[in-house]
């Protein structure tokens, strides 16, 4: 059984313009997959209604964020829509060393930095909205951001989408169930990549020895 064979954990990176649906997809994927854990970022952005400390983000003030930067506590960090966002280093390193997979919801800058640190371990997926109108509707339907925040995110969408070609996989998120099925397929296929299965070589050797 392939489950018994040791392998390195992967970093599954999801990016999209704000509102395309990556948070929704990430939550669903985490519910259905025990081998995957979320990298919870720190942010200086204020919490939205319903967001929980330690589940959605660690909400920190600007000074604390700068302090963490100076302590090298982030695997990567970036400024997005005037706020700072950063990936705490330790939980990711611990999970990967235990062969667990880690899911990241980061922008194109974060994806570039993670690839720069560990290209072999990164599998990246870009999520596109089916249309500009759908994106705007989703941003408004979320109804948790003020109008000027929605406008800023619509304006930022083209900038984020410019980077779609840097990603391994691209999913047009028309229907959540369909997109989720694609994401699960990516995860399943990437888990059985030969070079990710560190235990496959000794396994094959012992198999051959028993023949």
Ligand X SMILES: Nc1nc2c(ncn2[C@@H]2O[C@H](COP(=O)(O)OP(=O)(O)O)[C@@H](O)[C@H]2O)c(=O)[nH]1
The yes or no reply on residue 30 touching ligand ADP (CB under 6 A) is no
SS3 (DSSP) at 54:
coil
SS3 (DSSP) at 58:
strand
- 17 appears as a binding residue in the annotation: yes
The yes or no reply on residue 141 touching ligand ADP (CB under 6 A) is yes
Region from 20-28, 60-68, 86-94, 180-188 binding ligand ADP, contact rule CB under 6 A: 20-28
- 22 appears as a binding residue in the annotation: yes
Alpha-carbon gap, residue 150 to 163, rounded angstroms: 21
Alpha-carbon gap, residue 54 to 13, rounded angstroms: 19
The yes or no reply on residue 18 touching ligand X (CB under 6 A) is yes
In angstroms, the Cα distances linking 186 to 4, 10, 134, 135, 209 are 20, 12, 25, 24, 33
Alpha-carbon gap, residue 153 to 148, rounded angstroms: 9
The yes or no reply on residue 138 touching ligand ADP (CB under 6 A) is yes
SS3 (DSSP) at 181:
helix
Partner from ligand X, ligand ADP, none contacting 110, C-beta within 5 to 8 A by type: ligand X
The yes or no reply on residue 12 touching ligand ADP (CB under 6 A) is no
The yes or no reply on residue 37 touching ligand X (CB under 6 A) is no
Residue by residue, DSSP assigns 85-147 as EEEEHHHHHHHHHTT-EEEEE--HHHHHHHHHHHGGGEEEEEEE-S-HHHHHHHHHHH--S-H
The yes or no reply on residue 86 touching ligand X (CB under 6 A) is yes
Alpha-carbon gap, residue 198 to 195, rounded angstroms: 7
- 23 appears as a binding residue in the annotation: yes
- 20 appears as a binding residue in the annotation: yes
- 2 appears as a binding residue in the annotation: no
- With CB under 6 A as the contact rule, the residue among 13, 16, 29, 110 that binds ligand ADP is 16
The yes or no reply on residue 156 touching ligand ADP (CB under 6 A) is no
Region from 106-114, 122-130, 162-170, 175-183 binding ligand X, contact rule CB under 6 A: 106-114
Partner from ligand X, ligand ADP, none contacting 175, C-beta within 5 to 8 A by type: ligand ADP
The yes or no reply on residue 21 touching ligand X (CB under 6 A) is no
The yes or no reply on residue 109 touching ligand X (CB under 6 A) is yes
The residues of the shown chain that bind ligand ADP, judged by CB under 6 A, are 16, 18-24, 138, 141-142, 173, 175-176
């Amino acid at each position: 059984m392939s489950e018994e064979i040791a392998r390195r954990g992967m970093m599954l990176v999801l990016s999209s313009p704000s509102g395309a649906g990556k948070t929704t997809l990430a939550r669903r994927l985490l519910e259905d997959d025990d081998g995957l854990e979320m990298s919870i970022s720190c942010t200086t952005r204020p919490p939205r209604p319903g967001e929980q400390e330690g589940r959605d983000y660690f909400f920190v003030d600007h000074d604390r964020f700068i302090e963490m930067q100076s302590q090298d506590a982030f695997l990567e960090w970036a400024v997005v829509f005037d706020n700072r966002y950063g990936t705490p280093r330790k939980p990711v390193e611990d999970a990967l060393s235990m062969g667990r997979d880690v899911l990241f919801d980061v922008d194109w800058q974060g994806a570039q930095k993670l690839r720069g640190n560990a290209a072999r371990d990164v599998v990246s997926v870009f999520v596109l909205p089916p249309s500009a109108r759908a994106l705007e509707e989703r941003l408004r339907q979320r109804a948790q951001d003020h109008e000027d925040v929605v406008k800023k995110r619509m304006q930022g969408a083209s900038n984020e989408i410019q980077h779609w070609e840097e990603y391994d996989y691209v999913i047009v998120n028309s229907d959540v169930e369909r997109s989720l099925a694609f994401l699960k397929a990516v995860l399943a296929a990437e888990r059985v990549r030969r070079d990710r299965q560190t235990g496959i070589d000794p396994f094959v050797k012992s198999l051959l020895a028993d023949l």
